[in-house]
Structure 1
Amino acid sequence: MRVLLSTYGTRGDVEPLVALAVRLRALGAEVRMCAPPDEEFAERLDGIGVRLVPVGPPVREVMRGSAVPSAEELARYRAEMVGTQFDAFPAAVEGCDVMVAAGLAQIAARSVAEAAGVRYVYAGYAAVHLPSPHHAPPPRPGWPEPEARDNRARWEHDARQVDAQYRQPLNRHRAALGLPAVDRVRDHVLTGRPWLAADPALGPWPDSSGLDVVQTGAWSLADERPLPDGLSRFLDAGAPPVYVGFGSMRPSPDVVRTAVAAARARGYRVLVSSGWADLDLSDGGEDCFALAEANHQRLFGRVAAVVHHGGAGTTSTAARAGTPQVVIPLQLSDNPYWAGRVADLGIGAALDGPPPTVESMGAALGTALAPGTRARARALGGRIRTDGAAVAAGLLVEAVRRTASARP
């Protein structure tokens, strides 16, 4: 069995597919992955024996600076990516039995799989990426937000925006492959039976949408790496600190300074993760430690609270650790959705509004560090599943076996 996995994005987009790849290989499958050509992704895939098929520009290059690219730049990136995918995917999918594409940006994936006679599966990492009357579509950088408040109307607006960007180039490439035109690009990419790689306790699918969603649980791997010596010494030297980190995002340094000041004002030590923004706000004080990289699965169980941007992976890891969270969403993709989930579940606080001040950040920390919040976070942590990637791998292998046994 041969499987092609494909995504384009930051570490939060790539790591779930790494987990799926490991589980598939354990079941005897050969796996290759289309992903950005960033060196860290190449090294990560090489370490698990998966061949990288580089597609698109390095993500760090696209994510440069603290501001989101302009609408014109984003439109250009999106248009170029469609052509890049149609150039790269046919050779990558050759000889495969199934293709798994993660993220709406995988515009060409289903068409290339269809032309090659390969099974296609779409996967998302958050319920908010799938149309439902129970939630609005996520913000898409560079596209205007709809004025309508009704969720169905907002999803219809979203479909029109996707069509305006992608329908013409997609159908031009489909015609070249001898395939019929597509009317609704978003629905074509998602299919009527998308997979949802999110934990049912943390981010459940709300049903009642017309989609036959397969929720497998989040795709993750156990991380056995020890914590760096310097970090371990800092943790051992006092009470659990507050962790502040924004992963692959590039927040304003003022946001991070505010979080550090608010934690200190409440008497907490602070850990600042540099992330892709290369944050280093340590002022030499013994109560503040800057770290470049660490095993979050080990670390989050040793901190008082996790302050972050609302990425699916960070939210899930903190929830699994039973640690309260403060989410400062950067108004990108699923960040606001996960902020809302943290607040709704009562396992932390969300600062989804004006840039936080020391006062508002302090109040959010007060909510997160309250005894009731801690108790709810611990209780939820015991319900978070760890078998999502194994479940998904098993479903893929069984589907291919059924198809093979049905052939004459």
Structure 2
Amino acid sequence: MRVLLSTYGTRGDVEPLVALAVRLQALDVQVRMCVPPDEEFARRLESLGIPVVPAGPPVRELMRGPTPPSAGELSRYRDELVAAQFGILPTAAEGCDALVAAGLGQIAARSVAEAAGLQYVYVSYSAVNLPSPHHAPPPRTGWPEPPVSDHRTLWEMDAHNVNTQFAEALNHHRASMGLPPVDNVRDHVYSGRPWLAADPVLGPCPETPGFDVVQTGAWTLPDERPLPAELVAFLDAGAPPVYVGFGSMRPSPDIGHTAVEAIRAQGRRILVSRGWADLELVDERDDVFAMGEVNHQRLFARVAAVVHHGGAGTTLTAARAGVPQVVIPLPVSDNPYWAGRVADLDVGVALLGPAPTVESLSVAFDTALAPETQARARALGARLRTDGATVAAARLVGALR
């Protein structure tokens, strides 16, 4: 039995599929993964014995530019990605029984599976990506923000925007493969039975008319890597610090300085994760420690709170560790959604709107570090599941057999 897993994005997009791949391998399934060509993804997969099929332009190159890409640049980038997928996925899928695609950017995946007669599974990591009258679509970078607030109208406009970007190219390729055209690209990619790889407590699935959603739980793996000795020494030297990190996102340039100042005002020590944004230290005082990529599962168990951008993976890891969160979401993708979930569950604070100031962050920390918030965060952590990837792997294998 062979399965092709395909996604395009940052580490937060790739790691859940890595977890599924490992669980499938444990069931004697041969797996290969189609991911961006960035070197860190290749190293990660090769270390697990997972064959890598690179597709599309490097992600880090896009995320680390001095200025955000323009709408025109993003449109060309998306067109390039679709062309790369139709050029690479058919060969990558040869000999496979199923194709699992994560993310709306996987425009070619269902057509490739259809042409080859493979089982197709679309997976989302956040419920906000699935059309529902209970929430608006997530912000899509480079596309216009609609001047309405009705959820149904917003989803209709979202489908129109996706069609405008992708329909012509998708249907051109489908015609060349002998497949009929589609009139709703977004719902075509999602399929009628999408999977939701999110924890049912942290990110429950609302009503989604027209879709039979399968919620498996979040796809993660235990991380057994030790923390660097220098970091352990810093942690051991005083009270639990507050973690600040924005992963692969590019926050406002002064956010690191603002956060450090606000945390110091609380009398707390600080951990700064440089991330893809290369956050800089304010100074060299001994109450702050800068670090690169480390094991968040081990680290978050030793911090007082986590300040982050609202990525699905970071939100989940902090929640499982039972620590409060202060989320400063960028207005992209599912970041605002996860910020809202942290606020709704009362395990932290969501700072939406203008860039945070020392004053607004100080108020947020007063709430996040309060004993009652800490108690709710610990209680939530005990309720979250850890078997989502195992459930998904068993479900897929069962369907194929």
- Asked if 1:84 is matched to 2:84, the reply is yes
The alpha-carbon deviation at position 341 of structure 1 amounts to 0.3
Give CA deviations for 1:342-370 in whole Å, capped at 9, x if unaligned.
Answer: 00100000101111000001111111111
Alignment of 1:58-69 (within 5 A): 58-65=58-65, 67-69=67-69
- Asked if 1:39 is matched to 2:39, the reply is yes
**Which residue is 2:334 aligned to?**
334
d(CA) in 1 for partners of 2:224 and 2:236? 19
Amino acid at match of 1:104: L
d(CA) in 2 for partners of 1:303 and 1:309? 17
Amino acid at match of 2:2: R
- Asked if 1:287 is matched to 2:280, the reply is no
Identity, in percent, stands at 72
RMSD over aligned Cα atoms: 0.8
1:319, 1:380 within 8 Å by CA — same for their partners in 2? yes
**Which residue is 1:189 aligned to?**
189
**Which residue is 2:118 aligned to?**
118
- Asked if 1:319 is matched to 2:319, the reply is yes
**Which residue is 2:137 aligned to?**
137
2:99, 2:120 within 8 Å by CA — same for their partners in 1? yes
Alignment of 1:173-322 (within 5 A): 173-322=173-322
- Asked if 1:75 is matched to 2:88, the reply is no
Match of 2:254, SS?
A: helix
**Which residue is 2:382 aligned to?**
382
- Asked if 1:346 is matched to 2:342, the reply is no
d(CA) in 2 for partners of 1:252 and 1:332? 14
Amino acid at match of 1:389: A
The alpha-carbon deviation at position 208 of structure 1 amounts to 4.8
57-66 or 343-352: bigger deviation: 57-66
d(CA) in 1 for partners of 2:147 and 2:252? 28
The alpha-carbon deviation at position 281 of structure 1 amounts to 1.1
d(CA) in 2 for partners of 1:81 and 1:295? 31
Match of 1:135, SS?
A: coil
Q: TM-score, normalised by structure 2?
A: 0.99
d(CA) in 1 for partners of 2:86 and 2:60? 22
d(CA) in 1 for partners of 2:365 and 2:28? 46
d(CA) in 2 for partners of 1:282 and 1:12? 27
2:130, 2:208 within 8 Å by CA — same for their partners in 1? no
d(CA) in 1 for partners of 2:290 and 2:209? 44
**Which residue is 1:405 aligned to?**
none
d(CA) in 2 for partners of 1:55 and 1:354? 36
Match of 1:302, SS?
A: coil
d(CA) in 1 for partners of 2:231 and 2:96? 44
Q: TM-score, normalised by structure 1?
A: 0.97
Aligned positions, number: 401
2:104, 2:190 within 8 Å by CA — same for their partners in 1? yes
Match of 1:187, SS?
A: helix
2:2, 2:96 within 8 Å by CA — same for their partners in 1? yes
The alpha-carbon deviation at position 337 of structure 1 amounts to 0.3
Amino acid at match of 1:49: G
d(CA) in 2 for partners of 1:76 and 1:367? 43
Amino acid at match of 2:288: C
d(CA) in 1 for partners of 2:395 and 2:320? 24
Amino acid at match of 1:244: V
* Runs of 4+ displaced beyond 6 Å: none
- Asked if 1:359 is matched to 2:359, the reply is yes
**Which residue is 2:29 aligned to?**
29
d(CA) in 1 for partners of 2:347 and 2:279? 26
The alpha-carbon deviation at position 66 of structure 1 amounts to 5.1
Give CA deviations for 1:18-56 in whole Å, capped at 9, x if unaligned.
Answer: 000000000000000000011100000001111110000
2:64, 2:276 within 8 Å by CA — same for their partners in 1? no
Mark the CA change 1:14 to 1:311 in structure 2 (over 3 Å): closer, same or farther: same
The alpha-carbon deviation at position 256 of structure 1 amounts to 1.4
Match of 2:222, SS?
A: coil
1:66, 1:250 within 8 Å by CA — same for their partners in 2? no
Amino acid at match of 1:385: R
200-209 or 174-183: bigger deviation: 200-209
**Which residue is 2:164 aligned to?**
164
2:252, 2:355 within 8 Å by CA — same for their partners in 1? no
The alpha-carbon deviation at position 138 of structure 1 amounts to 0.4
2:100, 2:123 within 8 Å by CA — same for their partners in 1? yes
Amino acid at match of 2:35: A
The alpha-carbon deviation at position 282 of structure 1 amounts to 4.9
2:325, 2:368 within 8 Å by CA — same for their partners in 1? yes
Match of 1:390, SS?
A: helix
- For structure 2, the residue ranges without an aligned partner over 5 or more in a row are none
Alignment of 1:143-158 (within 5 A): 143-158=143-158
Match of 1:56, SS?
A: coil
1:322, 1:380 within 8 Å by CA — same for their partners in 2? yes
1:66, 1:251 within 8 Å by CA — same for their partners in 2? no
Amino acid at match of 2:311: G
1:349, 1:367 within 8 Å by CA — same for their partners in 2? yes
d(CA) in 2 for partners of 1:337 and 1:208? 16
1:202, 1:384 within 8 Å by CA — same for their partners in 2? yes
d(CA) in 1 for partners of 2:335 and 2:66? 16
Amino acid at match of 1:137: P
d(CA) in 2 for partners of 1:126 and 1:387? 17
The alpha-carbon deviation at position 278 of structure 1 amounts to 1.8
The alpha-carbon deviation at position 147 of structure 1 amounts to 1.2
d(CA) in 2 for partners of 1:134 and 1:223? 35
d(CA) in 2 for partners of 1:134 and 1:23? 33
d(CA) in 2 for partners of 1:262 and 1:34? 42
